Structures are given as C-alpha cells and as structure tokens.
Amino acid sequence: MKNTGLFKFGNDIKTVFKSIIDKRTPWYVKAAGIIGLAYIVLPFDFLHDYIPVLGWTDDVTAAGLIIWFILALIPKEVLEDNKQKKEIAGEITEAKKPEDK
C-alpha cells in the first residue's frame, strides 16, 4: 500500500509524537505539545461546539497550527532521526507480512 493521504498524515503525527518525547527535544517544545493537546481535549473553546460547523472549525484550525508550530520548533536532527527510525520500522513490518495469494 502506498503511503499517501491520511496514512501519510498518521505516520507524520507518529513521527512528531516520537520527536516530542525524545530526550533531545527542548522543554518548551514539550510544553507547547501539552498545551496544544489540552486545548483540543479540554472543553473550553473560542467558538463553542454547539454552533454548527463553526464550533469544530476552531478545533481543526488549532490542531493544524499546533502541529505546524511544533514542527517548526523541533530540532531538525531529532525529527530526521525519528523519521528514519519510523521508515526502518515500516520496512521491517512489510518484510514480515505474508505474501498475498
């Protein structure tokens, strides 16, 4: 299966998460991740969710901005190392899959 669309996004999120918990990542990046996650999970919003469509728009926008901000703050070498580890793990997993008949 080709790694595109939502699958690629899911893998990118996993790479970002691994990079955030990496020991080489600065504390302020970890704090930004916690604050961002808290905004998404906790019930306070700029636009309340009971407003149709607009209520979810701020959550989706905030999630995108949080990921973009954290990606900008994570040291490039940490991000690349975790991306390579993810690719190697994916190759090992694919090698272990049985052949389709």
What are the DSSP calls for the chain, one per residue? ----HHHHHHHHHHHHHHHHSSTTS-HHHHHHHHHHHHHHHSS--SS-TTSTTHHHHHHHHHHHHHHHHHHHHS-HHHHHHHHHHHHHHHHHHHHHSPPP-
Contact 25, 19 (CB under 8 A): yes
CA distances to 1, 17, 29 from 86, rounded to whole Å, are 16, 11, 20
- pLDDT, tens digit only, all 101 positions of the chain: 455 554 555 667 788 888 888 999 999 999 998 888 888 787 676 666 667 777 777 777 888 888 888 889 999 999 899 888 877 766 565 556 566 55
Q: In the chain, where are the structural domains located?
A: 19-80
Is the pTM higher than 0.85?
no
User: What pLDDT score does 91 carry?
Assistant: 57
